Amino acid sequence: MAQLAVHCRDLVKTYDTGDQKVMALRGVDLDIHTGRLMMLVGPSGCGKTTLISVIAGILDQDAGLCQVFGEDLLHLRQKERLRFRAENIGFVFQAYNLLPTLTAVENAAIPLIINGFKRPEATRRAAAMLARVGLGERLGSLPAQLSGGQQQRVAIARALVHNPRLIVCDEPTSALDHDTGHKVMELLKTVALDERKALIIVTHDARIFEFADSIAHMDDGHIITLEDRHA
């Protein structure tokens, strides 16, 4: 039975740029259920990355409600929020955010180590996940030795390795060729079919729209339309 994974009401987020304030979110309402792959699309600067950053607990909203599996992250203590995120959320950053001195398998193992796994078991699970994204032969490579697309796949493996209930991806196929992008999306879609999990993807890549269960179109800090692909 699907449940409500993300519940946002009247979310507002403003950035102070010094000489002016920029309103990135202007009262966003959004519900995302488990077993669904939701895509956020729209022009650059419309608020997509800000929205997923608030949902993932990376940014705090200025006003409004954001609950993830019933938890209001804004009102959790810092240690509680970090623990909740570590256990329940996987995030794929557009800039990858890999640690340059760690190998691919060490980068992918980080969420498991944070969650208390012993290093040998964390490494084994990370290696298996890297193999699923086609990097089984590059476990010992440092990020500088990998192409942009390979680094992106390490970031995706890191987001999935600890079996989080919510996976949030910022442009996960932007550095991938068509075939690799589709293989990664097939993996992500398989994850989203789990009735305990939900997946949010920010993308400009129209080639992957076919994988979405629903698409939220954003502009100027608002969700303009919500398209149900199975209606």
CATH number at residue 97: 3.40.50.300
pLDDT at 184 over 70: yes
Asked if 35 contacts 228 with a C-beta cutoff of 8 angstroms, the reply is: no
Q: Which domain holds residue 49?
A: 4-228
Strands (E), 34-84: 36-41, 63-68, 71-72
pLDDT given at position 155: 93
Q: How many domains does the chain have?
A: 1
Residue whose structure tokens are 């209001």: 72
Q: Which residues of 140-157 are buried (b: 16+ CB within 10 A; e: fewer)?
A: ebbbeebeebbbbbbbbb
pTM summary value: 0.91
Between 19 and 123, residue with greater pLDDT = 123
pLDDT given at position 230: 67
pLDDT given at position 5: 96
pLDDT tens for 48-75 read: 999 999 999 999 999 999 999 999 999 9
pLDDT given at position 187: 85
**pLDDT range class, residue 107, cuts 50, 70, 90:** very high
Q: Which residues of 100-126 are buried (b: 16+ CB within 10 A; e: fewer)?
A: eeebbbbbbbbbbbeeebeeeebbebb
